Amino acid sequence: MNKQTQEYLRDIPMKPYDLLKEGLIVLLVISGVVLVLAILFNSPDYPAVRSVDVASRQPILYLKTSANILAGNSDLQGYGPPYTPDTANAQQVFGIAPANWFGVTDPINPPQDLVLAPLNRVAKLNSDVATALQAYQAASPDQQQAWVDAYLAALDKATVSSGQVQIPEGDYGPVATMMDGMLQLGQAGLLEGTLNSADNVPYMLNPTLSLLFFQDDVDQQVANSLDMLGGQWGMSHETGPYPGAWWTAPASFLYQIPPMSSSPNGDLQTGLLLGLVFLVMLFLPFIPVLNKLPRWLGVYKIIWRDWYQKQRSESKASGYRPAEHSSASTD
């Protein structure tokens, strides 16, 4: 401690404090508690949602997801930055949309990237899919839409037999064959690899496409079954009947109240509010009125209660009652 620091701290009561010792004790206690709980309750981890599971257990739902993406019904279609150039859909507050500042950094064309591109790979091994794909791409956009819409309507009446989806007779053009190819790709567990290998690198570095494929319906159903939707305080839940990330409770709470609970700009509003609270806490010593709270609340008297008790005892013994230290020395 240099002379300037010693002079500054003169007459200020101080306590010995071993930060390393306390940190080590806390680490050992928490580690022991975590180890015991892990042994008693096992891991609450829920397995990842994989295409092979969805395609095998709920093939109709898998096909509806694929066909809706092909029809342009995916939420990604007009999401805005960073995926699509629809800047009007970017979240904004008071007309300011930070996502638009960076633009489209990860461009995605859902029908092309999530359905047609995987089918192009299937077409190299399946001539029926290759022929269907050629017929689909040669048709007009209106004809393509009519085929897909008819197929989606037929899926509402579809049945499953031996893992295969049976749909009523109808004019689906090449779409039925294309969707059969998508189903085979999913049941083989190859969809994720096909979507994530667009960069042609030996390792999967960007799983964005595979994560977004099921985000509309499948992931919503799974999250709802686990009470992990936004309206269910999902951010602070663990998968299963266990508490989760408690430190996300402030954000989860904001998502439950208006306007964040119903606004399309809820994510941005929540982020800005949390940022504002952080800035207030960071600059609290410099904000008028708020910087007086420590003195008004008197929490420092509880922290330094042994010193104040000692001062009272000494004042009673000497018959002299000294003035309390200023807030600068006690806060």
The pLDDT assigned to 321 comes to 56
Q: Identify the band that residue 105 occupies on the pLDDT scale cut at 50, 70 and 90.
A: very high
The pLDDT assigned to 329 comes to 42
The pLDDT assigned to 19 comes to 86
Query: Quick one: average pLDDT of 233-243?
Result: 79
C-beta neighbour count of 196 within 10 angstroms: 18
The pLDDT assigned to 185 comes to 96
CB 43 within 8 A of CB 175: no
pTM: 0.77
Q: In terms of Cα–Cα distance, which of 2, 9, 1 is closest to 330?
A: 9
Q: Identify the band that residue 236 occupies on the pLDDT scale cut at 50, 70 and 90.
A: confident
Q: Radius of gyration over alpha carbons of the chain, in Å?
A: 31
Of the chain, the percentage scoring pLDDT greater than 70 comes to: 93
Backbone angles phi, psi at 81, to 5 degrees: -55, 145
Dihedral in degrees, nearest 10, Cα atoms 221, 225, 229, 233? 180
Distance from the Cα of residue 178 to its chain's centroid:
32
pLDDT in tens, 155-188: 999 999 887 899 999 999 999 999 999 999 999 9
The pLDDT assigned to 13 comes to 77
Question: Helix 175-187 crosses helix 127-138 at what angle (to 10 degrees)?
Answer: 130
| Mean pLDDT, all residues of the chain | 89
pLDDT in tens, 11-58: 777 777 788 999 999 999 999 998 998 888 877 778 888 999 999 999
Of the chain, the percentage scoring pLDDT greater than 90 comes to: 63
Least confident of 58-62, 111-115, 244-248: 244-248
Indicate if the alpha-carbon torsion angle 6, 10, 16, 17 is positive or negative: negative
Query: Quick one: average pLDDT of 193-212?
Result: 80
Task: Judge whether residue 115 has pLDDT over 60.
Answer: yes
Rounded Cα distance between 160 and 199, Å, is 36
